[in-house]
């Protein structure tokens, strides 16, 4: 997918869910590509906070530098810093300019947000890691029941019961059956 189309999708996600952080936005884009099959063409690898793509960060930074979205550093009450991303007036301009692309995926963006919008970055880290590992198991025809234990090996800061519970929720919502290998 060409740059303007990717930026229009990013702008639409930010417009539909303003005041999100970089990690959450990265995970939303991953979900759109891996679960909802938007042809964003990003390559992901597993990283500290789950699936990561430097190209997504480059596109977020590009959109910020072009004043399409606003990425502001924020200091939270607990002393940890993060980012707050909001749409600018130019966001609507690129959404309008790429309206055919945005409209063709708008329902999928809204569906993804209906399932994941209320999740914080740490929860999204876990959910997207489960999906990432599930996808790898699926492509290799490995035993899918082992996904939660493998996720726990990679993410030991999440307890096994939480991982298993989230895995089951993703199954019951039909999210995992949508995952592309």
pLDDT digit string (tens) for the chain, length 181 residues: 999 999 999 999 999 999 999 999 999 999 999 999 999 999 999 988 899 999 999 999 999 999 999 999 988 778 888 899 999 999 999 999 999 999 999 999 999 999 999 999 999 999 999 999 999 999 999 999 999 999 999 999 999 999 999 999 999 999 999 997 6
Contacts of 81-84 with C-beta under 8 Å, sequence gap 24+, read 82/21, 82/22, 82/23, 82/121, 83/21, 83/22, 84/19, 84/20, 84/21
The model carries a pTM of 0.94
């Amino acid at each position: 997918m060409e740059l303007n189309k990717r930026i229009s999708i990013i702008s639409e996600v930010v417009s539909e869910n303003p005041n999100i952080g970089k990690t959450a936005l990265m995970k939303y884009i991953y979900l759109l590509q891996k679960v909802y099959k938007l042809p964003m063409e990003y390559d992901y690898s597993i990283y500290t906070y789950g699936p990561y793509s430097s190209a997504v960060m480059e596109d977020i930074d590009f959109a910020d530098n072009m004043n399409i979205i606003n990425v502001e550093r924020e200091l939270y009450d607990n002393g940890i810093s993060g980012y707050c991303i909001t749409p600018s007036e130019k966001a609507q301009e690129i959404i309008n300019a790429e309206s055919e692309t945005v409209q063709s995926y708008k329902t999928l963006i809204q569906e993804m947000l209906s399932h994941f919008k209320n999740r914080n970055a740490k929860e999204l880290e876990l959910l997207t890691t489960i999906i990432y590992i599930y996808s790898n198991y699926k492509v290799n025809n490995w035993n899918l029941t082992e996904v939660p234990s493998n996720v726990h090996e990679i993410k030991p800061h999440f307890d096994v019961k939480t991982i298993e519970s989230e895995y089951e929720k993703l199954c019951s919502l039909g999210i995992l059956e949508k995952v592309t290998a």
